Amino acid sequence: MASYLPPGAPRPASNANNPPSSQPPPNFRANPNSLADNLHNLNFNSAAPRAPSPLPGTPFPRQATQPVSPFPPTFSHPAPFASRPSPSVVPPPGARPPPFVSSASAGLASNGQPVFASGALPGGQWFPPPGSAPPTMAMAMARAPPQPQPPNTTSRPLMGSSLIRAPPVQPASPFAAAPQARQPPTTGYPYGQPTWPLQPGQGAPPPPITGSPQPPRMFGMPPPLPNQSMTSVSPAVGQIGAPVAGASKIDPNQIPRPIPGSSVILHETRQGNQANPPPPATSDYIVRDTGNCSPRYMRCTINQIPCTDDLLTTSGMQLALMVQPLAIPHPSEETVQVVDFGESGPVRCSRCKGYINPFMKFIDQGRRFICNFCGFTDETPREYHCNLGPDGRRRDADERPELCRGTVEFVASREYMVRDPMPAVYFFLIDVSMNAIQIGATAAACGAINQVIADLPEGPRTMVGIATFDSTIHFYNLKRALQQPLMLVVPDVQDVYTPLQTDVVVQLSECRQHLELLLESIPTMFLENRTAESAFGAATKAAFMAMKGTGGRLLVFQSVLPSIGIGALSAREAEGRTHLSAGEKEAHKLLQSADETLKAMAIEFAEYQVCVDVFITTQTYVDIASIAVIPRTTGGQVYYYYPFSAVSDPAKLYNDLRWNVTRPQGFEAVMRVRCSQGIQVLEYDGNFCKRMPTDVDLPGIDCDKTIMVTLKHDDKLKDGSECAFQCALLYTTVNGQRRIRVTTLSLPCTSILSNLFRSADLDTQFACFLKQAASEIPSRPLLLVKDRMTNLCINILLSYRKFCATVTSSGQLILPEALKLLPLYTLALIKSKGLRTDGRIDERSFWINYLSSISTPLAIPFVHPRMVAIHDLNSKEGDQSLIPPVISLSTEHVNDGGIYLLENGEDCLIYIGNSVDSDILRQLFCISSVDEIPAQFVLQQYDNPLSKKLNDLVNEIRRQRCSYLRLKLCKKGDPSV
């Protein structure tokens, strides 16, 4: 009989008396990679080239049913069906690894729910001695497979074919006409139909947080707080508890995985006069604003601010804010209170200009107040004076939203206006070149715009314009007095101009009939167009010139590579592939803008408050890296439909466009973040134009846009004090009101390293990882970016192990509880589309640009999608949830007899096993075998319960993600996989 060995001791070498076990574990397969074949590089949106659809003769048909509310698109990435390497040493049956390390000793003890595992180095050190090479990712996480590396202006009647010379155009007087009666469809929102305007509010207090066993403490470290916890994972062990020598198989049950919560979390922003750590950004929660702003509007990477820069550097974590000032609240939350101070404007600090908030302290019986940002003492305005109560607070504090709420909205006075509030202007610019017509992109764009007109804001302040372009630019006079719209052609694409100063952008109420007629006619008018060139840059600038006086939103529908006129581009991707040696050395340069002309144009657009959104509907390379400079600088967004299909993509295009113009948004915005003394803003990152060091200019801002604000220390903070952050957004609403949205967050300061790890916000930390990766990929070699992302994760884990868990065994991986999933998400990031060399340049460029403004709740699903089984939906009769339980992203949970749905918020991939019951296939997809899977798939509902449940499931996912998910069917061995 083997002698007893203490926990953590090395396993003795095998001999005749102690042979190694050869019996495989219960879940061992002869070929564990059988289901991973052809799935390791599974990509979203990587469909085989689609055959061009028949030439469309009519616009996109109007839907009879209410469409699903969309959300801005997210980029696709490889599906994480990854194979696992076969173990060289198989543990005997029943052998289980010691799951966790107790805080009381270095022995083995249970610590609740297992959360992570890693291949260990038995008997050796986890981290190298000082002076050695930096640790690799394999030392901090489970092993993964290696990754691969004015001229003439002409006009003609719209319906006629004869070309006539247009007489000189005189300014026309405004027109007035009653709008056409039309019933707009109901707009969908992520949590249901809210009360307009969409603003956040309150809920009930959160449930108590249960604690976990405490980690060992470093000598001199104060006792941890009650909710401090950590996670450790050890290698597989033998029957007597000793680690298995050599390579060890990780117990899948110990690998940390995200566990989605099924219940709604009730969150109070402050409790007991202290900041309450926010719930996970991906969870469903209701916020009650009790002083701090809702975490939907502003989140910090660490919920306790380090007192010194050295402490922050030691932790390895990043200190940053993720600001989403117009985020959509839960319908159960209170709306943001609007406060009007009249012509005097809101009360502010006279030194730093910080706005009044709940953390400013009133003294001298309320006659003065101390700013919580700069510490300056100001006189309270006479009309704002109120006596203090016994507790030192103003007696009216609970009655004034600005003194008891973390988020308020002030009505801007005249001093905040350079000009009158701009109207809501929407200008549509449509590509009508030969390729756009042939693939059906022009018809889809016209049909989507025609339906969206009904959703534009009502009233005389809503103005619209439209133009088309190929190698020339075609403006349309929408003057109501004309019998039909008049086309005005601008042939010079090197020195463009606007042929009319009026009647190009007109009130929607005056031109609705002409606009609808024009949109129905454009696909037919250019049906025989044989012009392949595209003057994207010239057309965009010409449209800007038409909007220059008012500003507004320019929506461009582009289908081919801009090849003529201002900002013309060449096929750099083809050049890079031809010169492979140069492409491999400097491949990242293909992700940079090729022409500074477009950058200069974008800065000019931002100066005149023109926001540009680009909808790219293409089947070829279009150089998104260059085109996307304009949306990023003007606060807009890029939408990407590749390869565009006239069968399945028009519905998503319509939903994306509809959400773009109906979501909560603002125009001509300026944003600034202020911090308490000792902390200052280092830089901003997002979609905006920055002309001043302290402010960011946002010609357009909406509920989906998030800006990362990186912070740094400029002085030492006092332990136990609070550090405040305030975001002030001055913007114009769609209704023409000038408002100031002020969000304030106050967090405690700490000088204890373990407190930083305990209060870390995983979602916000990882969102910062994504944004940093996106900003570095175009300027640095890919391997360096991968190493940096890997080292960011390793340094955090190393610091925790080195300073907060020093008593534990060297053969165990110790993870801070709050960041236990960070290695998993970092590995997913390294495998994603933007950090791989085998993807298309345009796809990687879109990936980068999408991340530049991604919100915190969408950051993790973007690289770590959700997978559910849909072949047994009928067995969920008693389950109240429409979405089945989430399955771990591992081939161990996928079999040939099942059907699985994988979604990332933008696309759905439905994988059909080779042995699926034909009856289930007929009920779900109306096919009898996997060989009949269509290349292009549109979800339909058939007359059976299973099909209805699948439709309900997809619609629920679309509602949660606020996006019209595109579906694709695939099978094992599919060439597109």
Residues 279-313: pLDDT tens digits?
999 898 999 999 999 999 999 999 999 999 999 99
Least confident of 356-370, 914-928, 957-971: 957-971
Tens-digit pLDDT profile for residues 541-573? 999 999 999 999 999 999 999 999 999 998 887
Q: pLDDT confidence of 248, banded at 50, 70, 90? A: low
Closest CA to 295 of 270, 319, 264, 263: 270
Closest CA to 99 of 258, 256, 314, 334: 256
Tokens describing residue 861: 């699903």
Q: pLDDT confidence of 222, banded at 50, 70, 90? A: very low
Please determine, for residue 234, whether its predicted confidence score (pLDDT) is greater than 60.
Answer: no
- E strands, 805-940, in order: 813-816, 866-869, 899-903, 907-912
Written as one letter, the residue type at 912 is I
Q: What local confidence, expressed as pLDDT, does residue 238 receive?
A: 38
The DSSP line for 303-356 is: SSEESSHHHHHHHT---EEEE-TTPPPPTTSPPPEEE--GGG-S-B-TTT-PBP
Tens-digit pLDDT profile for residues 650-669? 999 999 999 999 999 999 99
Q: What local confidence, expressed as pLDDT, does residue 934 receive?
A: 87
Please determine, for residue 585, whether its predicted confidence score (pLDDT) is greater than 90.
Answer: no
Written as one letter, the residue type at 71 is F
For the whole model, what pTM was predicted? 0.77
3-state class (DSSP) for residue 562: coil
Contact 963, 72 (CB under 8 A): yes
Higher pLDDT, 751 or 931: 751
Contact 509, 480 (CB under 8 A): no
What's the whole-number mean pLDDT along residues 253-270?
85
Written as one letter, the residue type at 207 is P
Q: What local confidence, expressed as pLDDT, does residue 73 receive?
A: 40
Query: Which residues, in sequence order, are CB contacts of 563 under 8 Å at separation 6+?
Result: 532, 533, 534, 569, 570
**724-728-729 Cα angle (round to 5):** 155
What's the whole-number mean pLDDT along residues 462-473?
96
Higher pLDDT, 658 or 37: 658
Q: pLDDT confidence of 693, banded at 50, 70, 90? A: confident
Closest CA to 292 of 244, 357, 339: 357
Please determine, for residue 458, whether its predicted confidence score (pLDDT) is greater than 80.
Answer: yes
Give the H or E element holding residue 320: strand 320-323
Rounded CA separation 1/5 (Å): 12
Q: What local confidence, expressed as pLDDT, does residue 186 receive?
A: 40
Contact 883, 949 (CB under 8 A): no
Q: Are strands 738-750 and 813-816 parallel, antiparallel or unpaired?
A: unpaired
Contact 847, 833 (CB under 8 A): yes
Tens-digit pLDDT profile for residues 711-759? 999 999 999 999 999 999 999 999 999 999 999 999 999 999 999 999 9
Backbone φ and ψ for 884, nearest 5 degrees, come out as: -65, 170
3-state class (DSSP) for residue 24: coil
Which residue has tokens 């042979």?
19
Residue 869 region by backbone torsions, left for phi larger than 0, else alpha for psi between -120 and 50, else beta: beta
Rounded CA separation 705/731 (Å): 14
Complete edge-to-edge strand list for the sheet that includes strand 361-363: 361-363, 368-370, 377-379
Q: What local confidence, expressed as pLDDT, does residue 232 receive?
A: 61
Please determine, for residue 28, whether its predicted confidence score (pLDDT) is greater than 50.
Answer: no
Rounded CA separation 817/407 (Å): 30
Q: What local confidence, expressed as pLDDT, does residue 21 receive?
A: 43
What's the whole-number mean pLDDT along residues 33-42?
40
What's the whole-number mean pLDDT along residues 470-484?
88
Contact 611, 550 (CB under 8 A): no
Tens-digit pLDDT profile for residues 98-110? 333 333 333 333 3
Report DSSP state, residue 357: -
Tens-digit pLDDT profile for residues 403-444? 999 999 999 999 998 888 999 999 999 999 999 999 999 999
3-state class (DSSP) for residue 661: helix
Three-state helix/strand/coil letters over 846-871:
HHHHHHCCCCHHHHHHHHCCEEEECC
Three-state helix/strand/coil letters over 110-162:
CCCCCCCCCCCCCCCCCCCCCCCCCCCHHHCCCCCCCCCCCCCCEEEECCCCC
What's the whole-number mean pLDDT along residues 529-547?
95
Higher pLDDT, 238 or 742: 742
Tokens describing residue 102: 């107790």
Contact 217, 805 (CB under 8 A): no
Which residue has tokens 């028009």?
650
Beta-bridge partners for 488: 155, 475
Backbone φ and ψ for 699, nearest 5 degrees, come out as: -55, -30
Q: What local confidence, expressed as pLDDT, does residue 963 receive?
A: 83
Report DSSP state, residue 172: P
Rounded CA separation 746/679 (Å): 13
Q: What local confidence, expressed as pLDDT, does residue 272 receive?
A: 87
Contact 472, 542 (CB under 8 A): no
* Cα 743 to chain centroid, rounded: 21
Rounded CA separation 774/22 (Å): 47
3-state class (DSSP) for residue 937: coil
Least confident of 356-365, 747-756, 809-818: 809-818
Report DSSP state, residue 812: S
Query: Which residues, in sequence order, are CB contacts of 700 under 8 Å at separation 6+?
Result: 553, 611, 634, 635, 636, 665, 666, 667, 669
Rounded CA separation 331/343 (Å): 33
Q: Are strands 665-675 and 696-702 parallel, antiparallel or unpaired?
A: antiparallel
First to last CA, the chain: 52
Handedness of CA 588, 590, 592, 596 (dihedral sign): positive
What's the whole-number mean pLDDT along residues 330-350?
94
Q: What local confidence, expressed as pLDDT, does residue 233 receive?
A: 61
Rounded CA separation 275/691 (Å): 34
Burial group, residue 385, by CB count within 10 angstroms (0-12, 13-18, 19+): middle
Q: What local confidence, expressed as pLDDT, does residue 572 receive?
A: 83
Tokens describing residue 402: 């600005």
What's the whole-number mean pLDDT along residues 823-848?
91
Please determine, for residue 907, whether its predicted confidence score (pLDDT) is greater than 80.
Answer: yes
Q: What local confidence, expressed as pLDDT, does residue 576 receive?
A: 54
Tokens describing residue 544: 């800007």
Written as one letter, the residue type at 672 is R
Summary mean pLDDT of the chain? 78
Q: pLDDT confidence of 587, banded at 50, 70, 90? A: confident
Least confident of 66-80, 449-463, 722-736, 834-848: 66-80
The dihedral over CA atoms of 631, 632, 636, 641, expressed in degrees to the nearest 10, equals 60
Tens-digit pLDDT profile for residues 371-411? 999 999 999 999 999 999 999 999 999 999 999 999 999 99
Q: What local confidence, expressed as pLDDT, does residue 639 receive?
A: 96
3-state class (DSSP) for residue 54: coil
Burial group, residue 179, by CB count within 10 angstroms (0-12, 13-18, 19+): middle
**667-673-675 Cα angle (round to 5):** 165
3-state class (DSSP) for residue 92: coil
How far is the CA of 622 from the CAs of 3, 275, 315, in angstroms?
69, 48, 43
Closest CA to 25 of 172, 262, 244, 284: 244
3-state class (DSSP) for residue 747: strand
* Cα 378 to chain centroid, rounded: 41
Rounded CA separation 551/553 (Å): 7
The DSSP line for 265-290 is: EEEESEETTEEPPPPPTTS-EEEE-S
Rounded CA separation 165/173 (Å): 23
Q: What local confidence, expressed as pLDDT, does residue 229 receive?
A: 56
Please determine, for residue 118, whether its predicted confidence score (pLDDT) is greater than 80.
Answer: no
